[in-house]
Amino acid sequence: MNKKNRILWVLPLLLCAVCCLSLRVGSVFLSGREFWGGLLGTDGFSTESLILYEIRLPRLFGALIAGSGLSFSGLLLQKVTGNALAGPNIIGVNAGAGFGVMLTLFFAPTLVLLLPITAFGGAFLATLLIVGFAYHRSKSTVILAGVSISALLNAGISFFSLLDPDVLASYNHFSIGGLSGVQTKELLLPALLIGICFLIILLFGSRIDCLSLGDAVASSLGVRVGSLRALCLILASACAAAAVSFAGLLGFVGLMVPHIARRLAPVCFRLQTVCAALLGGVLLVLADLLGRVLFAPSELPVGILTALIGAPFFFYLLIRRKRYASI
């Protein structure tokens, strides 16, 4: 079995193992019998069923969807900007989502149900603004425009939080990021959106590969570089905006996972995309699991855990950076 096939087998198995663990382990440990009984409903309307269907399965799906979405976003952004440090925050996703949430908390604090929509809207509008500005301009323009728009929106967030300090406490909960209280129904639209983006990324995978040859070579091969880059940026922003709409501003996933995916599949972007989807899921499910058990019955937000796991591992990768480290 070659390396490519090994990866395609090992990662899904790893993901399955982590998912099983996440469903069984928590503040209440479910034995094998309790787990299957609760899952299949053979014990009727039991506590185990309640734990699984109301708490753990929505969290698990949330972690898988957010992990995949942020990873796709980071992978695309690092490819189109040719910058290994690019992540969803670089194209204004975090600042846009944060600003949308802050506006809702400030002007309509009773409409908390609107928060996922305003987070998505803020993130997507901010990135569209950047894409519109950077269309047919250089790769570095994307990054610089992202930094500028983010700075502007962050200033807006700080301004509103100064006007009403109570809003700041609610905003902090969103900015740390977490999956507690996630419900299945709020995952449907993000899952659909990220799924569609995934299929489009796979469809254009071989063209996206050409972007690593630089604009001149890619254009000479018949690739419409400006349009493809704009498409990638829109897909990246849609994926990240969908993820932060229900999971908050999770850091590090969109930066770290693409690096590991490129290590596992250094040549083919399509395979990198599949790896990123699986790895993003593994990382967030694992972080969520640890967050639930480390200080049980208290809970550590998943955003803190992703940074705690991610930062040392990322550092290790940088030290061991080898031949396929370039994008």
Partner 1 sequence: MLRFKNTTVSYGKTEILKNISFSLKQGKFTALIGKNGSGKSTLLSAAAGLLSFDGEIFLKGRPLKGYSSKELAQLRALLPQLLPNASLTVERLAAMGRTPYLDLTGRLKAEDREQVETAMEQTDVLRLRDRFLSELSGGERQRAYLAMVLAQNAELLLLDEPTAFMDVEVTRSFLKLLRRLQKEQHKTVLTVFHDLNAAMDYADELLLLENGRLCFSGSAEACRQSGLVEEVFGVTRKTREIYQ
Rounded distance, CA 205 to CA 274, Å?
Answer: 11
With contacts defined by CB under 8 A, name the span among 29-37, 211-219, 234-242, 309-317 that binds partner 1.
Answer: 211-219
Q: Which is nearer to partner 1, 4 or 173 (CB)?
A: 4
Q: Can you tell me which of 44, 165, 222, 297 binds partner 1, judged by CB under 8 A?
A: 222
Q: Can you tell me which of 214, 312, 315, 318 binds partner 1, judged by CB under 8 A?
A: 214
Question: What Å distances lie between residue 310 and 272, 303, 326, CA to CA?
Answer: 19, 10, 20
Tell me the closest approach of the beta carbon of residue 325 to partner 1, in angstroms. Answer: 8
Binding residues for partner 1, rule CB under 8 A, total: 27
Closest C-alpha to 87, from 143, 137, 144, 156: 143
* Near partner 1 in 268-307, by CB under 8 A: 268
Contacts for 316-319 with beta carbons within 8 Å, 24 or more apart?
A: 317/256, 317/259, 317/260, 317/263
With contacts defined by CB under 8 A, name the span among 55-63, 89-97, 243-251, 262-270 that binds partner 1.
Answer: 262-270
Asked whether 271 and 7 are in contact (CB, 8 A), the reply is yes
| Amino acid sitting at position 38 | G
32 binds partner 1 (CB under 8 A): no
Give the three-state DSSP class for 236.
Answer: helix
With contacts defined by CB under 8 A, name the span among 8-16, 21-29, 167-175, 261-269 that binds partner 1.
Answer: 261-269
Task: Extract the tokens encoding 286.
Answer: 């694992």
Rounded distance, CA 323 to CA 250, Å?
Answer: 30
Tell me the closest approach of the beta carbon of residue 204 to partner 1, in angstroms. Answer: 7
Tell me the closest approach of the beta carbon of residue 267 to partner 1, in angstroms. Answer: 5
Q: Can you tell me which of 43, 164, 209, 299 binds partner 1, judged by CB under 8 A?
A: 209
